[in-house]
Amino acid sequence: MNWTRRSVLGAALALAGAARAHAAGPRVIVLDWALTELALLLGVTPAAVAEAPYYRTRVATPELPAAVVDVGLRSQPNLALIASLRPDLIVRLRHYGPPQARLEAIAPTLELSIYDADRRPYDRSLQALARLGDACGAAAEAPAVLARLDATLARASARLAAHRGRPVLIANFADDRRADVFGEGSLFQTALERIGLTNAYAGPTNMWGFSTLGLDRLARLEGARLVALSPGPPASLSQSALWRALPAFHDVVVLPPVWVYGGLASMARFATLLADALESESRQ
């Protein structure tokens, strides 16, 4: 797993611009992880984040400094704690968590959206980045963030040149009988397009850009390279007779955790981890 840690750390450092804390910047509390990613990319370290400990294991990069306070559940953050931290700005996700009015009573609240009915998470991420930059006085950082993102994707693309011929299937196993398969409307789709790989799944997807398929439907996507997000297929499935009998699944690649409702950093993390996994394999 050494390759993983090294290259992810490298990517994180590059993306976060060594996470310079804006000492004079506003005190920001972020209630969603995709938006936390964006803040960290801009070099803004939030004073507090909802479910901060879980961010560190499930989103992982950009790294969240240990001093960042945990304000409770993302769906029901602790309002008393938020108020006691005296934030200058609260950043929330549309359609999620406490109502805007309750937060406005504490501090000015910026409502941003990434996954929405129009299913254009990449465009919305760019908008969110710009608006967050404006609100935090870090607007000047945005072009550099995008340049680093482009560079990361370009590096991944170059490393994956040998793998262009075979479409990939991005799956997150829900249990041992079905998986969420990502397609149009997900940031993984944008990442695949930017690094020059084809998505084997072109079917309909929901608001977050995935569709839940049974194993029988997965097996139909023959010839694709199955890329599973951690923890990958449960052991009972990968040892089952069906799995062993289906050639499509034989060379499954399992990536370390990637946040599936993530933002630009998760998209870059996905591209880098995918390049790491496929490259290390072809080296063997």
Partner 1 sequence: MTRSLIAAALFAAAAALFVMSVARVLPPAGWLAALLAPDPGDVSALIAHYTLFPRAATALAAGAALALSGLVLQIALDNPLAEPSTTGVSAGAVLALALFGSAGLGGPAQSLVALAGGLAAAGFTLGLAFRGGMRPATIVIAGLVLSFAASAATTLIALFNHEWMRALFLWSSGSLRQNDWSAAANIVAFLAVAWLAAAGLVRAFTLAALRDAGAASLGGNPRAIRTAGLALAAGLAALTTAEVGAIAFVGLAAPHLARAAGARTVAAQLRWTPIYGAGLLWLTDEAVKLIPLDLPTGAATGLLGAPLLLALAGRLRRPSLALAPLSAPPRRLRPEWAALIVACVVALALALFVERTADGWALATVAQASDWRFPRALAAFGAGAAIAVAGALLQRMTGNVMASPDMIGVSAGAALGFLALLYAAPTAGAGAQLAAGGLGAGLAALWTLKGTGRGAAPEQPLLLGIGVASAFTGVVSFLLASGDPRMALAVAWLSGSTYMVDAGRALVILFVAAGGLVIALALVRPLQLLPLGPAARSSGLRVGQAQMLTLALASALTAAATLVIGPLSFVGLIGPHAARSAGCRSPASLLAGSALIGGGLLATADWIGRVALFPYEIPAGIIAMLIGGAAALVALSR
Q: Which residues of this protein are in contact with partner 1, per CB under 8 A?
A: 58, 69-73, 75-81, 83-85, 95-96, 98-99, 102, 105, 173-178, 206-207, 212, 214-216, 219-220, 222, 234-237, 239-243, 245-246, 248
Least Cβ distance, residue 241 to partner 1 (angstroms): 5
Alpha carbons 170 and 192: distance in angstroms, whole number: 10
Which strand ranges, in their side-by-side order, compose the sheet holding 69-70?
69-70, 48-49, 28-30, 89-93, 109-112
For partner 1, the closer of residues 139 and 237 by Cβ is: 237
For partner 1, the closer of residues 43 and 233 by Cβ is: 233
For partner 1, the closer of residues 188 and 243 by Cβ is: 243
For partner 1, the closer of residues 23 and 241 by Cβ is: 241
For partner 1, the closer of residues 71 and 128 by Cβ is: 71
H or E stretch at 225: strand 225-229
Count, residues in the chain: 284
Least Cβ distance, residue 178 to partner 1 (angstroms): 7
Helix or strand or coil: residue 59?
Answer: coil
Question: What are φ and ψ of residue 198, in 5° steps?
Answer: -100, 140
Least Cβ distance, residue 98 to partner 1 (angstroms): 7
Q: DSSP states of 143-209 as a string?
A: HHHHHHHHHHHHHHHHHTGGGTTS-EEEEEESSSSEEEEE-TTSHHHHHHHHHT--BS--S---TTS
For partner 1, the closer of residues 24 and 241 by Cβ is: 241
* Triad 251, 253, 259: Cα angle to 5°: 155
Q: DSSP states of 187-205 as a string?
A: HHHHHHHHHT--BS--S--
Least Cβ distance, residue 239 to partner 1 (angstroms): 8
* Contact (CB, 8 A) for 281 and 227: no
Least Cβ distance, residue 283 to partner 1 (angstroms): 31
Least Cβ distance, residue 45 to partner 1 (angstroms): 17
